Amino acid sequence: MAGNVDAPPPLESPAARGGEPAADEPWAGWVAVVTGASRGIGAGMAARFAARGLALGLCARTTPAAPTGAEQRTLVASVDVTDETAIEDFADAVVDRFGRIDLWVNNAGVLAPIGPLRAAPAAELDAHVRTNVVGVLLGSRAYARHVRSRPGGGALVNISSGASTNPYAGWAAYCASKAAVDHLTRVVAIEEADAGLRALAVAPGVVDTDMQASIRATPREDFPSLDRFLALAEDDAFNSPAWVADRILDLAVGATTQSSEAGRDVVVRIADEPRSR
């Protein structure tokens, strides 16, 4: 598949690069940036990353809250990911605070407009593409520049979706934008491999967020696949943000079979979370 690359070697631990002593978890001491971190998957990932010992740079249009107990190792800011100056300034601020960035997660995204493309207002389409595509391009660019400014490589995770490969009537903009995320990630993986940057487009599965609530509230005539998402809610068949965060950390350090698969294609779908019966 186009964009297939050999995975770069695992990221250096803080101890290996002369930093903090190594802990049981290989990502102990890492610094992670999460965009769109004020709610939903982003807020859940931030809380889990904090619990696993990472320092955090969190941004969203609404300033995110620092995870409880991690206030001293969290930098938060209001950032519009479509503003190139704002995203570059935020990256610089995180580096000024913590010294480097080991993991960057481009999570910010929107779903609207929902409904037939023929009915979609041009302004809403433009806003959607600017957030879901341009925002990821700018975040990826900022992180690639940072990784090339210092040794040690890094992990870039762009949040994708099953909608990138499965067409849903009513989601023309969303399906198109997530397909763009997959392919731009493949390009970044090729361009930045020599700098040790591991780029992945990760579909997190279905997580019960405000976005999912808005899907379930959509009129069936605008979204014919509504019943599938109502059934997921009835069965509580969701991945938790903590499960998603843990899988992303595994992928970032090259510690799982999935990350080995990512060496052949950088697009990865997180497996469904096991559930007790």
Contacts of 40 (CB under 8 A, 6+ apart): 207, 209, 210, 211, 241
Threshold 0.85, pTM exceeds: yes
Element (H, E) at 247: helix 241-253
Alpha helices in 22-171 (DSSP H): 40-51, 84-98, 122-129, 135-147
Q: How far apart are CA 43 and CA 245, in angstroms?
A: 10
pLDDT in tens, 133-176: 999 999 999 999 999 999 999 999 999 999 999 999 999 999 99
Q: How far apart are CA 59 and CA 42, in angstroms?
A: 9
Q: Which two structure tokens, joined as six digits, stand for 187?
A: 């390009």
Q: Position 190: which residue type?
A: I
pLDDT in tens, 189-198: 999 999 999 9
pLDDT in tens, 3-19: 333 333 344 444 444 44
Q: Which domains does the chain have, with CATH numbers?
A: 31-209+240-269 (3.40.50.720)
Q: Which residues pair with 35 in a beta bridge?
A: 59
Asked whether residue 276 carries a pLDDT value surpassing 80, the answer given is: no
> Which among 37, 24, 100, 40 is positioned nearest to 70, based on CA atoms?
37
pLDDT band at 253 (very low <50, low <70, confident <90, very high): confident
At residue 6, the pLDDT reads 35
End-to-end, the C-alpha distance of the chain in Å comes to 38
Asked whether residue 113 carries a pLDDT value surpassing 90, the answer given is: yes
At residue 27, the pLDDT reads 84
Find the catalytic residue in 174, 223, 238, 243: 174
174 is a catalytic site residue: yes
Q: Which residues pair with 66 in a beta bridge?
A: none
